[in-house]
Amino acid sequence: MKIAVLPGDGIGPEIIAQALRVLEVLRKEGMPFEFTEAPLGGQAYDQYGHPYPEFTQKICRDADAVLLGAVGGPQYDNLDRPLRPERGLLGIRKDLGLFANLRPAVLFPELANASTLKPEVVTGLDIMIVRELTGDIYFGQPRGMRVNEDGEREGFNTMVYKESEVRRIAHVAFDIALKRRKNGQKGKLCSVDKANVLETTEFWKEIVIDVAKEYPEVELTHMYVDNAAMQLIRNPKQFNVMVTGNIFGDILSDEASMLTGSIGMLASASLNETKKGLYEPSHGSAPDIAGKNLANPIATILSTAMMLRYTFDNEAAAVRIENAVKKVLAADYRTGDIFEEGMKKVSCSEMGDQIVAAM
């Protein structure tokens, strides 16, 4: 069970340290984890002059799974675009063929008041957003900046999807919808597009409808992305599994994360066709609190649960970590981002202490 550990930038090293403490509990009980650390993002640029250097590439290719902290920081904003920390993240996704991003938005009952929405709107929230990760406008060619025929500068990108790319992400989403069925009911999958304006997503919709023929036990619906953004705020519990392209998924998954009260609570997984995965918190590198022991490590710890579930196929160990987090929240321990009056405010490492103890 080889795990490449990429602490990254900002609060990355602090939150990764707590996640490794949780995995260490399982390792001591017999799980054969092998951890190998490597740099990514700004940390890698500082050491090797590139955000995803060959040293890191080799370690990630040899690993069964990759655990990442976060990348980015204001000190890198003026670098040439190919050298910026975020390009390291795009690079590892492409290199490992990580095409399926899974972003759960789950509201823990203890945190209902932390959401900006009324508790009755969000209590019981449990959405899985499945985002295609290697195609769409983020990777389409041609792209760039140029002077056009009229002598005016312009920027341009290409939104494009191949049929094979849409089919494989649709299968992932339908399979997850099947697994999330309850009480013998049909699974629910909402495909998000902008088929009334964009031919690329009209094509997307056509392929998803075709794949649906293989999943009679899943109810497929469709929604335009602007309406989906609105419905996530108005009535988020109508959704179970959502599937969408790269750019829409990027936006909707961040929006859904705030329904839960803090992006510091939300894990994510990015998988390839062999179930090899990159596991990371949904939040960024938070340079304003880096090195202050203030970060919330829960999203990173929950990412290790996703790793155990999706790459190592160990549901029992995944649930054990998730239950440890639930116990600590039920005991009123909170980092600053989710703190309320009357709770016990703890640091990043103290939250790690509590979750390790609850294991």
What does the pLDDT average to over 214-239?
97
What does the pLDDT average to over 161-190?
93
254 is an active site residue: yes
Q: What confidence tier does 114 reach under pLDDT thresholds 50, 70, 90?
A: confident
| Annotated active-site residue in 2, 64, 94, 138 | 138
At 262 the pLDDT is 73
Q: Model-level pTM greater than 0.75?
A: yes
250 is an active site residue: yes
Average per-residue pLDDT in the chain? 94
Contact call for residues 188 and 156 (beta carbons, < 8 A): no
At 90 the pLDDT is 87
25: number of CA atoms within 13 Å, CB side?
21
Contact call for residues 261 and 111 (beta carbons, < 8 A): yes
Residue 81 has pLDDT above 80, yes or no: yes
At 123 the pLDDT is 85
| Annotated active-site residue in 95, 126, 210, 226 | 226
At 116 the pLDDT is 82
337 is an active site residue: no
| Annotated active-site residue in 9, 194, 215, 337 | 194
At 71 the pLDDT is 96
Residue 119 has pLDDT above 90, yes or no: no
At 179 the pLDDT is 86
Domains of the chain, first to last:
1-99+272-359 (3.40.718.10), 104-265 (3.40.718.10)
- What's the Cα-to-Cα distance from 235 to each of 91, 181, 256, 266, rounded to whole Å? 36, 20, 11, 20
Q: Could you read off the pLDDT of 135-148 as tens digits, one per residue?
A: 999 989 999 999 99
